[in-house]
Structure formats: structure tokens, C-alpha cells
Amino acid sequence: MRPDPSVSGFEHNPDLSISLPADFLPLAFKSALSKEALGILLIAFTELALQPSPADLIPLEALREQARANLGMNDPETFDHGLAELTRNGFVLLSQVNGKAYILPGTPAGRALAYAISEKQFIPADLNQADRPAEPGRPDIFRLHEENIGPLTPIITEALLQDQAEYPYDWIEDAVREAVLNNARSWKYVQAVLRNWKKKGRKAVNEKKPSDLEEFRKLYQEQKRGKRE
């Protein structure tokens, strides 16, 4: 069947890539989202993709404006009902900072960021009150965990924030690398390595002695036993 030339279809924009969670469609159908809520959710993920900052959040008013412009959602009550439906089902999160509302995705990273905001460990950059800028090109501790260890949980998130305050970031990166190399992908193992370095001193990889490697092997065995218990 030949395409109808009078129908334009989608336009290809190589500068914009929008990522949706793998379980987006199953959860959306299971929750029986209204078309208004689904439209707001798609707009939210589009706006998140356009953010220049790595932080996964957008001002609530920016989302409201985009819903008005792209969905014709001029009635504030319709938008509020759709947003309430999304927050009730956990698709998006709402955070307040200095009287300003922000929308975050209901993903593990979004939940971790919401926790960090609630604990005042992170302030949205557009308020110019960030504790310290992230080093360019280096993942933050949440992304480091997700990419190398596994999904975040509230308990893990709290541990990450505590360890970030206690240890230099390059130590944490190297400890995660040790965990990956030893196939011991557990934050408890990472913590054991960090405590060991703090107690005995941290050495570069090329300075490690057999006794150091044996210590890491012991940590690994302890971590494996802890999983079985």
C-alpha cells in the first residue's frame, strides 16, 4: 500500500531523542490513564529530554505551559486533575523547593532525586543554590550505582548520600570499579572497600600488593556469605 502524500506523518528531528521507561506502556494501560493524564505524561518526558541539565526535573509551571501549548489544555482544572492522576499512580513526583514546585519522573532516578531534594542534598540549578556543581563528564553517585550495581531503593539512596558526604568521589568511583572487577556488585561490598581504605590507606592499582588483593577477596567472600544469610 502506497503512502498517501496528503498525510505528512511524523517529522524526523535528529537533535531530539526521547526515552521512555521500558514498562511505560504496560503501566499506563494497567492504570487506565485518562487521555489528559497520558498527554501530560508524554509532555513531561519530552520536556525532560530537552533539559540541558542532567537533573531529571522540570518546573511545574513549565509543564503546565507546554500542556497548554501542545495539548490545548487551557483549563487549569483539567491540568490539575490529570497531574493528580499521575502523582496518585506514581508516574510523576512533585517536589517543593523554596515555594517553587518541580515535577520529577516516577523512576528510580527520579525517586532518588526527590529524596535528595527533601534532605536538602540537592537544590535545582535554576535557583542558583546548588551545593557544588558536578564535575563535567562524571556521573553522579546515583547514576554510578544504577549503571554498575543496580536499581536504587530508598535505603540504598540514604546510604549513597551518607557515603558521598564521608568519602571523596574518586574513592567511591574506584571502590565501585573494584566491586565490578571482583563481580561483587553490592553497595555493602563498596562500603567495605571504602572502610578498608580509610583504615589502612588507599593505594593506586599498580601499588597494590598480593596481601591487598587477598584482603579484597576476603571482603568478597564476606559479601557472598551475607547474601546467603
Domain-embedded: residue 102: yes
pLDDT score recorded for residue 25 = 86
Same domain as 148, residue 106: no
Domain-embedded: residue 133: no
Count Cβ atoms within 10 A of the Cβ of residue 133 and give its class: 0-12 exposed, 13-18 middle, 19 or more buried: exposed
Q: How many residues does the chain have?
A: 229
Q: If pLDDT is split at 50, 70 and 90, which confidence band does 205 have?
A: very low
pLDDT score recorded for residue 131 = 35
Domain-embedded: residue 53: yes
Same domain as 221, residue 149: yes
Domain-embedded: residue 135: no
DSSP H/E element including 227 = helix 210-228
Sequence-distant contacts of 146-151: CB under 8 A, at least 24 apart: 146/108, 146/109, 148/176, 148/179, 148/180, 148/185, 149/176, 149/179, 149/185, 149/186, 149/187, 149/190, 150/185, 151/108
Domain-embedded: residue 12: no
Q: If pLDDT is split at 50, 70 and 90, which confidence band does 161 have?
A: confident
Same domain as 156, residue 93: no
Domain-embedded: residue 16: no
Last residue of a domain, one of 105, 127, 149: 127
Q: pLDDT for 3-61, tens place per residue?
A: 666 666 666 555 566 778 888 888 888 888 999 999 999 999 888 877 654 457 888 99
Strand-by-strand arrangement of the 100-105 sheet: 58-59, 100-105, 92-97
The chain-wide mean pLDDT, for the chain, equals 77
Q: Cell for 52?
A: 540541558
Domain-embedded: residue 39: yes
Number of compact structural domains in the chain:
2
- Domain limits at 30? 24-127
